[in-house]
Chains A and B, each alone.
Chain A
Amino acid sequence: MSELTHTPSIALTSRGDKATDTMRAPTQQELMRELGVKPKPGWTSRLPPSVAAFVTNGKGMAGVVILLALVLTAVFAPLLSSYDPGRRAGKPHVQPSYEHVLGTTRMGKDVFTQLVHGARVSLAVGFGAGIFAAMIGLAIGISSGYFGGKVDDILTFFVNVVLVLPGLPLIIVIATMVEQASPMVIGLVLALTGWGWAARTIRTQTLALRTREFVLSAELMGEKKWRIILVEIFPNMLSFVMGGLVLGTIAAILAEAALEFIGLGDPNAVTWGTMLFWAQRNMALQSGAWWEVFPPCLAIMLTGAALVLVNFAVDEITNPQLKASRNIGRIRKFLSRRGRSADVF
């Protein structure tokens, strides 16, 4: 078919229409302006790319700001309130007032004081358990993915067992056996039962990295295995560890509140969960003392919401597909303004 004689392209004769308005392409600068694409802020240029992506992510930073505010409240709890969280501070079930910003409990304890002091334990247990679970997940996930073979078989079996064992019921068994479970014990048990998802994700990621050139070349150069894991693989896992940590923390904060709510915690500890436990036991809602119930509820919801926001950001960093949809609205507008059907995919 190549013996064909070819006639000059007619393209040239009809090239005069190049300047037609509809065909004109905007320059890159014009396009950036029209689509609202902003150049990378200069101050992020020195940060590692994944950190820079996080700090420029609106949702993620909103979550971080809320979490910081909560942590600061917890740290400075004694300065924010002059009452003792564990002692009677006024009459029982006083409505919110100047004296008692969020009222008092049936025992006459100040709700606001309990709330800010409770934040200390609840957040510490939540983050503690979340971090610990992420660490276990990281260690098991990386070893399982990197070493493969028998090690992988055995570890994967345990990961799957941990995944199918129902967490809360198991914790209930353990917590009843130790009589009253202190927040420490609850956190520890939550961490020990909550690392399954993190381990599974990190194992999958390690398997993918295992065959990449930089790992193979490090192996050929005779690097020690633990060094390859620490130097070559671990840095690539940071955002996945972060994801595991955030999800683990959410799970731990919720589970801790649930456990204490059903009476498995130490009723003398001041946490958001025990606040709910006492409110439920003393029929606070039935007697109209909503202020004893709503503040810890809102605190837990706010913490959960903030962590979810952070997780959204982490998701967008580990999964670039999710981010691509951000400009879709502007791209649609760009097309319809030019009379073209917005069949965007």
Chain B
Amino acid sequence: MCSDRALIEVRNLTVDYVGEHSVVRAVHGIDFDIMEGEAFGLAGESGCGKSTVAFALARLTRLPGLVSGGQVRLNGEDVLKFNKARLKAYRWNEVSFVFQSAMNALNPVISVAEQIMDVIETHEPSLGSDGARARAVELFELVGIPPARLDDYPHQFSGGMRQRICIAIALALKPKLIIMDEPTTALDVVVQRDIIEQIVELKTELGFSVLFITHDLGLMIEFCDRIGIMYSGELVEVAPAEAILTDPQHPYTRALGNSFPPLTGARVRLEGISGTPPDLRSLPEGCRFAPRCPHAMERCRLEAPELRFYPTSQSEAACHLLN
């Protein structure tokens, strides 16, 4: 169900945060593609820029963030250059978003029905409010919430139900891509599993692509087709999901995998990664991981490695050790 045609192509994407006295480069020229029907994951420590990428893709970068360079192409069109009218159509018809905290993603003082119906009415005015309501009922059934509760307010739902409502809203216009920024982090483990299973089911049924972001590497490997590993604003490795644990190319990916407990098999000693990510206001000359890398060589400190494709492992990685 995942085709070879790229839906989204990200090229040299650069995002800065403009502070009062400094400019912080949160995302530094990254490239990746999301295929049609593919679930693409972005993983990395907090602050590595993965959420920033997600927001930039949806054209939702908020102040003081600034997409200062690069391209995001949707079927060849440059998303960053969309004018107001095109942007309005892009939003939700083509890309929708599920936020980390469903608690804050719904307006507490207006009814859930209105928050689903307004997006339908805006983009498909011909349906009318009855049509929009009928669609809202369908969506509620799709995510397994009794449609009788459509007119309730967000605080009357549990955390898991609210996230389902957010997913229903994300599905309202059958978009091509749904960006999920840590959609289950704020939920407890049992509810987490339910929601993920539901997303998998819906994805099979409706065939949208997903950009999935989470801290939970295990969940990500299970759910995604390919995974990109980010470190300090750069993509260090893009690999098929299962290869992240079994055949990591980049030392950082390996370290990330080692700090993650396997669900089956023998107990192993978990290793953390010593040191902290570099200060984004003044970055090291060469590879950003070099100061923390156990295998760093002279060259690593001088020259930044490029992301390259290695056919033997079917992975892309940016590391001098591989050459």
Contact = CB atoms under 8 A, between A and B. Distances in A.
Given A2-B221, A4-B2, A26-B69, A37 B309 contact: no
A38 B33 CA distance: 36
Interface in A39-80: 39-40
Nearest to A8: B309
18 contacts: A4-B225, A6-B240, A6-B314, A9-B309, A10-B6, A11-B9, A12-B308, A18-B12, A23-B11, A25-B14, A25-B68, A32-B22, A35-B18, A35-B23, A39-B22, A326-B20, A331-B63, A345-B62
B153 interface: no
A14 B9 contact: yes
Nearest to B66: A331
Interface of A: 1-2, 4, 6-12, 14-15, 17-18, 22-26, 28, 31-32, 35, 37-40, 323-328, 331, 334-335, 339-341, 343-345
A28 to B, nearest CB: 5
A74 to B, nearest CB: 34
Nearest to A316: B20
B59 A26 contact: no
B25 interface: yes
B82 A341 contact: yes
Interface residues of B, number: 54
Contact of B200 (A1, A40, A340): A1
Contact of B39 (A1, A22, A345): A1
B234 interface: no
B4 A7 contact: yes
Instruction: Give the interface centre of A28, A38, A323 by most chain B CB atoms within 10 Å.
Output: A28
B156 interface: no
A326 B16 CA distance: 16
The 4 closest A-B pairs by CB, nearest first: A25-B69, A25-B14, A40-B21, A28-B23
B33 A31 contact: no
B169 to A, nearest CB: 19
Contacts of A1: 1-2, 39, 200, 223, 225
A225 to B, nearest CB: 33
A341 B83 contact: yes
B9 to A, nearest CB: 7
Contacts of B241: 2
Interface in B1-47: 1-2, 4, 6, 9, 11-12, 14, 16, 18-23, 25, 29, 31-33, 39
Contacts of B164: none
Contact of B226 (A6, A35, A39): A6
B155 to A, nearest CB: 21
B10 to A, nearest CB: 9
B247 interface: no
Q: Name the residue in B16, B32, B241 with the highest tally of chain A Cβ atoms < 10 Å from its Cβ.
A: B16
Nearest to B85: A341
Given A8-B314, A9-B316, A23 B6 contact: no
Contact of A18 (B6, B11, B23, B309): B11
B18 A331 contact: yes
A324 B62 CA distance: 10
B4 A341 contact: no
B249 to A, nearest CB: 14
Interface in B69-86: 69-71, 80-84
A344 B316 CA distance: 34
Contacts of B130: none
A11 B32 contact: yes
A23 B242 contact: no
Nearest to B71: A23
A10 B4 contact: yes
B222 interface: yes
B63 to A, nearest CB: 5
Contacts of A8: 309, 311, 314
Given A341-B84, A343-B84, A37 B63 contact: no
B32 A341 contact: no
B87 A341 contact: yes
Contacts of A323: 20
A23 B70 contact: yes
